């Protein structure tokens, strides 16, 4: 029976050998593909483990809505199983290039989650940054160009609002690859369209409120001995995570109490300042009221003095007015007398003028008579000189 079945199968294969060969090749292909996948999976895991170790990628991430401080870092570092810890800063920012709104994840460079430098150099100063390569190609930028990053203002523990960055305008000094973003997805944001387009790495020196971390990254002990996503690794992470959760309430309360204490101190300080200023204001008001009363009394005294002076002035003015009236009358009488005397003087002047004219006329007549006498005398004298008796006697004529 078995021999017959075997002969029948061989015969069937001979009659349909092409189909048999095709099925056989497909089976070989499927087995080969499956074997390749089974062989590449450990290689991929090994590759990602090596990458995580080289870039020191975090194992546990701690975040808080109230912000994290150095005290939180110190307390977390005391937990068994924590090998390395680092506080860092991550904020969503906005870059405007050619009126195009670009949402970026702004990350501070740290020892954990080290980015891979692909070109240029890492930031050394607070006004320098590095970006991913696609940021340059998509926005026609190059290394050496500057960009301006806008981040919403933040509030420190003192309640003071401050700008998040010391330097908004930064120079691009290189390109990097971030171990936090293996895929193309960059996460979501409350800014713009709600989607993060790129990431930017900056120096911690550029953070204006360095005392408040946005998150804390932790590395577990012997992290390099665990395989990524293995149960042993997940159990170890869960163990450390549980220990963190044990102090979570304590640290949250400590952070809350610290903020409340700071706020209370600010309120107390403000109240003290207010009370001091209030007392100073009351003292000034009291002093001002005293000065006001004094001023009112001075005004009353001044008014009385003014009234007395006004009364005296009115009396003196009336007397002066009376004197002026009398003086005006005297002046008027004197003016009338002066006019009369002027008239009399003018009349006398006219008489004197007439007398002067009369005297001048008489003087002319005397001069004319004198000239006639002189002429007659001269002529007589000449006649006398010619006479014989000239030498015998002399006639002397004198004029008085």
pLDDT tens digits, one per residue of 327-340: 778 778 777 777 78
Per-domain boundaries in the chain? 2-50, 57-225
Using only C-alpha atoms, what is the Rg of the chain? 64
Give the span between the Cα atoms of 308 and 200, in whole angstroms: 86
Q: What tens digit of pLDDT does each residue of 2-56 get?
A: 666 666 667 766 777 677 777 778 887 887 777 666 666 666 777 888 888 888 8
**What pLDDT does residue 9 have?**
66
**What pLDDT does residue 108 have?**
93
Number of alpha carbons in the 13 Å side-chain half-sphere of residue 146: 6
**What pLDDT does residue 386 have?**
59
**What pLDDT does residue 381 have?**
65
**What pLDDT does residue 21 have?**
78
Residues (pLDDT < 50) of the chain are 388-400
CB atoms within 10 A of CB 251: 19
**What pLDDT does residue 4 have?**
67
Give the span between the Cα atoms of 152 and 173, in whole angstroms: 24
Instruction: Give the DSSP H/E element, type plus range, for residue 35.
Output: helix 17-54
**What pLDDT does residue 119 have?**
93
The dihedrals phi and psi of 188, each to the nearest 5 degrees, come to -110, 170
Q: Residue 3 has what DSSP assignment?
A: H
**What pLDDT does residue 143 have?**
94
**What pLDDT does residue 393 have?**
45
Give the span between the Cα atoms of 270 and 268, in whole angstroms: 5
Per the rule left: phi > 0, alpha: psi between -120 and 50, beta: everything else, 67 is left
Q: Which of 113, 94, 123 is nearest to 182 (CA)?
A: 113
């Amino acid at each position: 029976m078995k021999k017959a079945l075997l002969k029948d199968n061989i015969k069937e294969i001979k009659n349909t050998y092409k189909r048999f060969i095709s099925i056989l090749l497909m089976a070989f292909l499927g087995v080969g593909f499956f074997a390749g996948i089974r062989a590449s999976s450990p290689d991929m895991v090994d590759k990602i483990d090596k990458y995580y170790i080289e870039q020191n990628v975090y194992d546990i991430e701690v975040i808080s809505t109230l912000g994290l401080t150095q005290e939180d870092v110190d307390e977390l570092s005391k937990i068994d199983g924590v090998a390395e810890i680092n506080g860092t800063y991550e904020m969503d920012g906005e870059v405007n290039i050619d009126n195009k709104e670009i949402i970026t994840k702004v990350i501070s460079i740290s020892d954990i989650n080290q980015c891979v430098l692909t070109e240029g150099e890492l930031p050394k100063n607070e006004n320098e940054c590095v970006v991913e390569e696609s940021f340059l190609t998509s926005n026609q930028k190059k290394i050496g160009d500057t960009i301006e990053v806008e981040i919403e203002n933040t509030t420190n523990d003192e309640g003071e609002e401050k700008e998040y960055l010391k330097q908004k305008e930064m120079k691009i000094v290189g390109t990097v690859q971030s171990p936090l973003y293996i895929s193309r997805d960059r996460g979501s944001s409350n800014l713009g369209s709600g989607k993060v387009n790129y990431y930017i790495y900056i120096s911690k020196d550029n953070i204006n409120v360095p005392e408040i971390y946005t998150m804390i990254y932790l590395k577990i002990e012997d992290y390099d001995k665990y395989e990524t996503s293995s149960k042993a690794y997940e159990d170890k992470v869960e163990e450390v995570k549980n220990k963190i959760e044990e102090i979570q309430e304590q640290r949250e309360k400590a952070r809350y109490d610290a903020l409340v204490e700071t706020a209370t101190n600010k309120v107390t300080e403000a109240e003290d300042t207010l009370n001091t200023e209030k007392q100073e204001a009351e003292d000034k008001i009291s002093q001002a009221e005293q000065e006001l009363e004094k001023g009112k009394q001075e005004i009353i005294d001044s008014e009385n003095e003014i009234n007395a002076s006004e009364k005296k002035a009115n009396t003196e003015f009336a007397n002066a007015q009376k004197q002026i009236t009398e003086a005006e009358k005297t002046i008027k009488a004197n003016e009338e007398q002066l006019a009369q005397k002027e008239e009399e003087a003018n009349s006398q002047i006219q008489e004197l003028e007439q007398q002067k004219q009369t005297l001048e006329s008489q003087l002319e007549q005397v001069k004319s008579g004198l000239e006639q006498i002189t002429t007659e005398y001269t002529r007589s004298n000449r006649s006398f000189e010619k006479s014989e008796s000239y030498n015998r006697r002399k006639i002397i004529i004198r004029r008085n």
